[in-house]
Every structure is written in structure tokens, then in C-alpha cells.
Amino acid sequence: MKRFFMKLHGLFLKIALFPSSLGRKGVRPAASEVLTCHLLQRNLPPWTSYVVHYSSVLNDQFGRSNFNWRVQDSNYHILRTGCFPFIKYHCTKAPPQNLHFEDNFFTMLKVINLGIPCLAYGIGCWMVVGAEETVQTSCGPVTVYFAYKEDEGAQF
């Protein structure tokens, strides 16, 4: 019985601390590669917002909340948060800017709130996902999800 609870405890910690280590077997692309491929596949849109399963990617942007992301000649301001079982990205095309303060501020809010709002956000994402798209990466296809189908070429 003790062994069972030790395994259960270990599984809980693995899910809680390293959700991207579960699920999909084999090689997974980095979350940053999915971000870049999605923006390129969408022909560098003025904005986009999507979620991707933790289990579909390697979480190489862990701890980053608000940052610049360069794709070809375009710069995007990325707002990123974990919303278990997803990672949420909101991308807006904008000139490069020093986002260090904002990045630290959003990260500190997540720590102070113990990530509880992020978990609630993830549950909410499950309820509103209404569209999906397959993003082609060097490791194969990855599905990203949207609250609603985004219009191709939509402007602000």
C-alpha cells in the first residue's frame, strides 16, 4: 500500500511540476518553434491568440511572461502564461520594446497567486475552445487551439 501511495505521489509531482513530460511520446518540438511556425504559417498576422497542450511541446520558454519575439523582419510582443493543461500565447505585431519590467511583473503575479488563476484559466480554455489548427514543425504536426476561428488577414 505504501508503494502505491509513493507512486501516486510521484505521478502527482510529475504532473504538477513537469506537465510537458507526460503524454505524447517521442520527439516534441520546442514551444518556441511552434510559436515561430504558427506565425509563419499565418503569414505574419498583426495578432493571434492560441493555446497549445503542454504535452505537445517542450516548454523552453518557462518563466517568460511578456517578451519580444522576432520572426523574419517582424517583431511580436508575446504575452504567455501557463493555463494547465495548456500554454496560452497572445501575439501582437509591434516594434521592439524593453518588456523586462512587464515580464517580471506578470511572473511575480503568478508566483504570488500560487498559479491558481492559471489553473482556472486552463479550465476555462477547455470550455471555450472552438477551433483548432495544425502547425507543421521540424518534429511533425502540433495542434493549436483557438477560442474561435481567426479570420485570415484580419486587422485590428
Q: Write the pLDDT tens digit of every residue in 99-111.
A: 999 989 988 888 8
Q: Higher pLDDT residue, 87 or 19?
A: 87
Task: Quickly state the pLDDT bin for 113 (edges 50, 70, 90).
Answer: confident
CA angle 10, 32, 87 (to 5 degrees): 50
- Note the pTM of the prediction, 2 decimals: 0.77
**144: pLDDT strictly greater than 90:** yes
Cβ atoms 118, 102 nearer than 8 A? no
Bigger pLDDT: 20 vs 117: 117
Checking if the pLDDT of 29 tops 50, the result is: yes
Q: In sequence order, what are the beta bridge partners of 72?
A: none
Three-state secondary-structure class, residue 131: strand
Question: Can you list the alpha helix ranges (DSSP code H) found in the chain?
Answer: 2-17, 31-41, 100-112, 116-128
Residues 91-105 have a mean pLDDT of 93
Residues 37 and 32: their CA atoms lie apart, in Å, by: 9
Please give the average per-residue pLDDT across 43-57, as a whole number. 93
pLDDT of residue 128: 81
